[in-house]
Structure 1
Amino acid sequence: MKLSRAVAVRGSVALPGHRAAAWLAMAGLIAMSWCGAASAESSAFRPLKPRVKATAPAYVSYTTREGDSLYDIADRYLSDPTDWAVLSRLNHVPAPRRMPAGIVLRLPADKLRQDREAARVVATSGPAEHAFGKNPYVPFTAATTLVEGDRIRTGPNGFVTLELADGSYVTIAQNGELDIGRLRRTALTGAGDRIFDLHHGEVESQVTHATKRDDRFQIHSPSVVAGVRGTRFKVAYSGDAQTTAVAVLDGAVGVDPAQQNGRDAAPLPGVPLQASEQLVKARFGSVTRAGGAVGDPVELLAAPALSQPARVQDGETVVFDLVPAEHAVAYRVQVARDADQLDLIRDMRVSAPDADFGNLPDGTYFVRIAATAANGLDGLPQVYAFERRQLGLEASAAPLAGSRDYEFRWFVSRSNVETRFRFVLATTPDLRHPIVDRTDLSGGKLIVSDLPAGVYYWTIVAEQFENGRFYEKNSTVRSFTLAR
């Protein structure tokens, strides 16, 4: 403090200009020295702040066309048309000047205009609804289009698939919540910018391969950001467990933490996937828990198989039996109207390798099956086509009163289709040595006479030919005892 008082007293004396300047300079140096010492002393007691590396500005090249002016270029390609002044300073071009073709200009990448795009709903099933901003939710209709700011919500067995402008698809599975955070395309470069915020459930994406370096497609969950440049992958977030599972079926996915050092860590457009904290390739996945590091890639379980892949689903319910898979703790079975699983209608997780979906209308469907590992990741899928064609077959038998004759009756549910029947009667449950085998029956009744006493086993087989295909339905093997 003595030093400060001395400087103050000296400063109050009137001195010639050059001497005053010298004194002021000396006082400044002394003060700076004192402040530097004090600062150095205090820095020993508080941590140094990390240096933030400044990001170099990015530019995009534009080659002029005949008659272009900065006004025209700014109006066409910049988000603010008045930024022609920025172009003038940056490129040293007078604003009013009409430029010949072939001049290469630099345009600031962060000032390029982005046009909003729309997503088209191509499939929806079950309870599914949407809302824009804070508006109330309303059900989807066939003509629904969604834009940036829309929210999507699905219930049990509720599914929605969106088609983006570039041909990519986004499917929201049952019990999911997804927001469209960004859906834009840069006017000059044509680069797409698509960001979706997943709050709950699972979203599966089939992303068209990027054609622009700055194309961006990201799924944000509360714990990770999954970014791609063209692939098929799934991201599932469980709010209860606070975990995000990423499974890559094709291509590669860059996975980064959603937040890092208290700031958004999502990669910027143009950042290569290899720069991500984890690069998850096809046939691998990762599981990340909230607050933890991004999970290491682990190999997905191999696809399981159906035990009867060619079976026609003609029973009261649609049932699938799977071949048990090694290391599987559960199985996931999904039914869709298309092979790509864009039009999902059922989704079930089962602990045993069999699933019963109840009744479904007649038609052609596709079932996708996958084995689930102990880490919660669904493995590689296998898709089978199957036909749902209900064919009910009821049969009964009873003795005729006052005789040793037995009457057998049957009927089918699809009676409008011409049907042939086969009747088999034997003394063993396997029916290998029949005592009656009739293959030429067209009616619904048969009487067998003069049967000796004993135990008998029988069945009826219905055969139909429709639309170029052969169908066969067996009744259960039944038995009766004929007393002496």
Structure 2
Amino acid sequence: MTLRASLICCWILVAAFATGLVLTPQRALAQQPAAEDSIVYTVRKGDTLITLARTWMIRENDWQEVQRINRVVDPYRLSVARRLTLPVRLLKFRPASATVAAFRGDAQASSDGSLPRAVSMGLALGEGARVLTGPASSLSLALTDGSVITLPSNSAMRISRLRKLLITNSIDYELALDNGAVRSKVSPFRNRDDRFRLRNPIAVSAVRGTDFRNHYDAQDGKARAELIEGGIALTAPAMAAETRLDAEFGAVIGKTGGIAVEQLLPPPVLKAGGEIQRAPALAFAIGAVPDAQAYRLLIARDSGFVDIVEEMANASPSFALPALPNGNYFARFTAIARSGLEGMPGTFAFKRRLATAIQGTTASEHGYVFRWVGSGEGVLRYRFQLRTQDNPLYVVDEAGLSGSSIILSDLPAGRYQWRVGTTAFAPEETYSDWTEFESFSIDE
């Protein structure tokens, strides 16, 4: 008997035995891998389970598990266009990385169970790494696809999965928030099989090109998710069904799976502090937002809030902060609802000019810094565009940039939007993508 005939006979015997045990449809479904842990592959001409395993799977005999999951009778014969469910854990991949793009204060990282150590600019982290931030600290990580992950103070996160699947050329990222908060600015997906998930102990956020925040309090066991733009699908073992959030909505998730969805509070309006700040201490005032119980302020050197220099929460809409070195900065204000959900951000530019400052200048005094993270393989070139919010014509349109930042000086007061286009000149192909628009204001 040939090997092929033996395999067919074995499969028929296994199926008959399973039928004798009265395998119900529900039990059969239980053998399927969860949707989030598998991909769907469309069979092409010439594919067999054997060739698929040899080419795309970690072990050559993994075809047997794929055969069982998909109930394939003949592993040497597959119908073209048939859809196969393939567990991700079986598939070959190329490791991706998370690189330290900015940090301040006590930001640490550990890998493979080692003791945490202070991070450094450009440090590359892979699967299994854990990052932590202490009080008055922050950490921003740039992922291979151009996404940026930022942890504020007192947060801890693990990199569970960070890879590119070879069979689909798709990304497969999974981060686990153990405590604190994280903001994820996820690049738009290029591949329908791209996957980005952020977990905490009670819920999972699955996204497709979006800007969102997640919080998890290890003491009370509650989680929160806030969607700025894009889309999120929330799931949890205790949830009866998946919950999808629209932009400008958030959700509070209890440890038992209960979920409450509400619209996020609007962005605060800046009343004072957007001009040049000359006093030894910085002062800001924003308009009170109805139903807000507190307010939060972030200050960064760039309008994308990758390089954060200060953060503060306050019960009142007024803020006073210690001195900053001279430079041009961006302030981002949010209102916090009684539910704990943090609202939509209002971003404003301001200048710091203190003639008696003795600290070295770390922010540019010559203009406003716009920073981005490039994505793609090969040679990268960027195109920066800036426009006022009320005029579709661009006041700045700079192409052919090779760096990842630009400084603009003498911008007049007004409301602005900016974006960056990336062109990747890779050996196999050349492709381009644009970021979403970022907004900010410059007051008189």
Aligned residue number for residue 113 of structure 1 = 92
Find the partner of 2:200 among 206, 217, 221.
221
State how 1:268-287 maps to structure 2 within 5 Å.
277-287=242-252
Structure 1 Cα separation of the partners of residues 225 and 181 of structure 2: 10
Aligned residue number for residue 390 of structure 1 = 354
* Residue 251 of structure 1 pairs with residue 230 of structure 2: yes
* Residue 200 of structure 1 pairs with residue 165 of structure 2: no
Structure 2 Cα separation of the partners of residues 162 and 149 of structure 1: 15
Find the partner of 1:324 among 283, 288, 293.
288
Q: Secondary structure at the match of 2:278?
A: coil
Cα contact 2:128–2:158 (8 A) shared by 1: yes
State how 1:96-245 maps to structure 2 within 5 Å.
109-110=86-87, 111-245=90-224
Cα contact 1:90–1:106 (8 A) shared by 2: no
Shift of 1:209: 2.2
Shift of 1:64: 5.8
Shift of 1:218: 1.4
Shift of 1:155: 0.7
* Residue 302 of structure 1 pairs with residue 244 of structure 2: no
CA distance 1:69–1:214, change in 2 (3 Å): closer
Aligned residue number for residue 399 of structure 1 = none
Shift of 1:146: 0.7
Shift of 1:77: 1.2
CA distance 1:314–1:107, change in 2 (3 Å): same
Cα contact 1:309–1:384 (8 A) shared by 2: no
Shift of 1:199: 1.0
Structure 1 Cα separation of the partners of residues 92 and 260 of structure 2: 38
CA distance 1:62–1:303, change in 2 (3 Å): same
CA distance 1:172–1:82, change in 2 (3 Å): same
Q: Secondary structure at the match of 1:149?
A: coil
Structure 1 Cα separation of the partners of residues 222 and 108 of structure 2: 25
Shift of 1:308: 2.5
Structure 2 Cα separation of the partners of residues 108 and 315 of structure 1: 63
CA distance 1:299–1:84, change in 2 (3 Å): closer
| Percentage of identical aligned residues | 29
Listed one character per residue, the Cα deviations across residues 89-147 of structure 1 (whole Å, up to 9, x for unaligned) are 866549xxxxxxx9878766124323321111111111100001311001111120111
Structure 2 Cα separation of the partners of residues 138 and 299 of structure 1: 40
Find the partner of 1:61 among 22, 39, 42.
42
Structure 1 unaligned segments of length 5 or more: list them: 1-48, 95-101, 266-274, 394-466, 471-484
Cα contact 2:227–2:249 (8 A) shared by 1: yes
User: What is the identity, as a one-letter code, of the residue corresponding to 1:367?
Assistant: A
Cα contact 1:249–1:282 (8 A) shared by 2: yes
User: What is the identity, as a one-letter code, of the residue corresponding to 2:86?
Assistant: A
Cα contact 1:321–1:353 (8 A) shared by 2: yes
Aligned residue number for residue 335 of structure 2 = 371
Find the partner of 1:288 among 249, 253, 261.
253
CA distance 1:60–1:90, change in 2 (3 Å): farther
Structure 1 Cα separation of the partners of residues 245 and 81 of structure 2: 39
CA distance 1:304–1:124, change in 2 (3 Å): same
RMSD: 3.2
Structure 1 Cα separation of the partners of residues 65 and 162 of structure 2: 27
CA distance 1:60–1:350, change in 2 (3 Å): same
Structure 2 unaligned segments of length 5 or more: list them: 1-23, 34-38, 358-408, 413-444
- TM-score, normalised on structure 2? 0.66
Structure 2 Cα separation of the partners of residues 248 and 469 of structure 1: 30
Cα contact 1:313–1:389 (8 A) shared by 2: yes
CA distance 1:92–1:204, change in 2 (3 Å): closer
CA distance 1:469–1:296, change in 2 (3 Å): closer
Listed one character per residue, the Cα deviations across residues 270-297 of structure 1 (whole Å, up to 9, x for unaligned) are xxxxx9521111111011121241x221
CA distance 1:59–1:310, change in 2 (3 Å): closer
Structure 2 Cα separation of the partners of residues 165 and 148 of structure 1: 13
Shift of 1:391: 3.3
Structure 2 Cα separation of the partners of residues 205 and 193 of structure 1: 15
Shift of 1:347: 1.1
CA distance 1:336–1:72, change in 2 (3 Å): same
Q: Secondary structure at the match of 2:209?
A: coil
CA distance 1:107–1:390, change in 2 (3 Å): same
Structure 1 Cα separation of the partners of residues 306 and 241 of structure 2: 29
Q: Secondary structure at the match of 1:340?
A: coil
- TM-score, normalised on structure 1? 0.61
Q: Secondary structure at the match of 2:55?
A: helix
**Bigger Rg over Cα:** 1
Shift of 1:202: 0.4
Structure 1 Cα separation of the partners of residues 323 and 187 of structure 2: 36
Number of equivalenced pairs: 325
Structure 1 Cα separation of the partners of residues 320 and 344 of structure 2: 21
Cα contact 1:337–1:365 (8 A) shared by 2: yes
Listed one character per residue, the Cα deviations across residues 51-109 of structure 1 (whole Å, up to 9, x for unaligned) are 545166875235468xx998775443111135578899866549xxxxxxx98787661
Structure 1 Cα separation of the partners of residues 410 and 247 of structure 2: 40
Find the partner of 1:78 among 57, 76, 88.
57
Q: Secondary structure at the match of 2:276?
A: coil
CA distance 1:72–1:341, change in 2 (3 Å): same
Listed one character per residue, the Cα deviations across residues 140-159 of structure 1 (whole Å, up to 9, x for unaligned) are 11120111100000011211
CA distance 1:59–1:159, change in 2 (3 Å): closer
